[in-house]
Structure 1
Amino acid sequence: MKKDFVISIETLHLGDQGNSENVHQLSPEKWRTVEVVNVDIVNDPIRPDDYKKEEDPTLFRSQKTGRGPLRGKNWWMSVEPVMTCYKLVTCEFKWFGLQTKIEKFIQDFDRRLFTTFHRQIFCWIDQWYGLSMDDIRQLEDRTQKELEQQRAEGPVRGTMG
């Protein structure tokens, strides 16, 4: 079967400051084709309709951990602990005439999604910090049931533009 559209996302989390290369251990040939895109949850611009004051890492301070607010051009160099999320996004859209445009759209969308999501994850730390595996499984089950209910009610709403 010929696949005209393929997208995959692989994620690794490392306790470094974003300075590791080829963490997904790609072949030298494949690594040469990779475009590295750094996402900075503090300084990268976000759309006004994505902004929420309670999800702004430059304003947030965790009650449980004391982490935050995150500020400065190289904020990751002065915080402890720090974690870098390395994502390998592979996108292939094989429709002549649309390939470049669609792949660019997907790259832009992924960057927006990753920036917003990781800002949220940091600012929601007090909701997940200290959860046990049992707590996480219960949360996953609740989330799955809510998603199934939303699907039954109609299309899941979201913006891609």
Structure 2
Amino acid sequence: MIIKEYRVILPMTVEEYQVAQLWSVAEASKNETGGGEGIEVLNNEPYTKTLENGTVESGQYTNKIYHFASRVPGFIRLFAPTGSLSAKEEAWNAYPSCRTEFTNPGYMKDNFQIVIQSYHADDVGESENVHNLTPKQLKDREVITIDIANDVVRSADYKPEFDPSKFTSQKAGRGPFGPNWIEHMRMQIMCAYKLVTVKFKWLGFQNRIEKFIHNQERRLFTNFHRQVVCWMDNYHGLTMVDIRRIEDEIKKECLNSTDFICFDQLSLIVLLQSLNTLSIILF
């Protein structure tokens, strides 16, 4: 099991990010989810629960099954073990926190799990234990800070229109984001703390696959949030009412579309949707 906490620093407040994330997820999901094909929504409902510290948490709960058989070549479907081409996702969104769990109960059962716990705070990534980890978990955790403007991205991922170091928001009056942008943005800055726990128990493959998944998650966190920043003029000034209207319009345009209540859900399905990733993880 590998535990890493990714700290994504962003030039906006936590309140602004709620709108920014939902608008961006709605936009990205049009291209990434295939219109919801092969997604079975079992539950999508409000929830309330009491946490270990005694506080009451309320939010939205979703429970989905992803069926991948239609997305892979026939020869893979022919030889794939029963239950290997589906995955279960559960998510609890109580912004500014969100927890998403991804498993494969039909084949790998307890030997495979990806958990993403997100917490969003109006700081610069200096809080050491926002997820209330135990001393052992803190010892096992590796912290990685993501600078969306200055971190190097793969040449295949680079798009000049999504380069925050070259972007200026006309509506918000922010950017471009140079080498010292974090120091200059103290009044409008936040951190998305994303704790990712990956378990893949398979003799001879565990360490390699767990590292692979983490590398892909870091890549997705970086690329998505570079887009979020550079899309700022599309959502700046919108309200949550506007966002729900946009989401409803997308559902009408894309039959069989599905709800993504936080980015972590979208990142996991994108991670597992590619043929290479799917083949490596489930076989």
Same fold by TM-score greater than 0.5: yes
- The correspondence for 1:93, drawn from 200, 215, 221, is 200
- The correspondence for 1:48, drawn from 155, 160, 176, is 155
- On the 8 A contact 1:109/1:160 being kept in 2, the answer is no
After superposition, the Cα gap between the structure-2 partners of 1:55 and 1:11, relative to the gap in structure 1 and judged at 3 Å, is same
Distance (whole Å) between structure 2 residues aligned to residue 7 and residue 92 of structure 1? 6
1:75 aligns with 2:181: yes
User: 1:112 matched to which residue of 2?
Assistant: 219
Distance (whole Å) between structure 2 residues aligned to residue 160 and residue 122 of structure 1? 29
- The correspondence for 1:148, drawn from 223, 235, 256, is 256
The code of the aligned residue for 1:10 comes to Q
- The structure richer in strand per residue is 2
TM-score (norm 1): 0.86
- The correspondence for 1:60, drawn from 156, 167, 181, is 167
- The correspondence for 1:28, drawn from 131, 135, 148, is 135
- On the 8 A contact 1:17/1:77 being kept in 2, the answer is no
How far residue 141 of structure 1 moved from its aligned partner, in angstroms, is 3.1
User: 1:126 matched to which residue of 2?
Assistant: 233
Structure 2: which 5+ runs fail to align?
1-104, 258-269, 278-283
Distance (whole Å) between structure 2 residues aligned to residue 112 and residue 49 of structure 1? 11
- On the 8 A contact 1:11/1:88 being kept in 2, the answer is yes
How far residue 19 of structure 1 moved from its aligned partner, in angstroms, is 1.0
Percent pairwise identity: 49
Q: CA RMSD in A?
A: 2.3
TM-score (norm 2): 0.51
After superposition, the Cα gap between the structure-2 partners of 1:109 and 1:21, relative to the gap in structure 1 and judged at 3 Å, is same
Distance (whole Å) between structure 2 residues aligned to residue 7 and residue 59 of structure 1? 34
Structure 1: which 5+ runs fail to align?
150-155
How many residues were matched structurally?
A: 155
CA deviation profile, 1:99-150 (whole Å, cap 9, x unmatched): 000001001000100000111111111111121112111223344553836x
1:38 aligns with 2:114: no
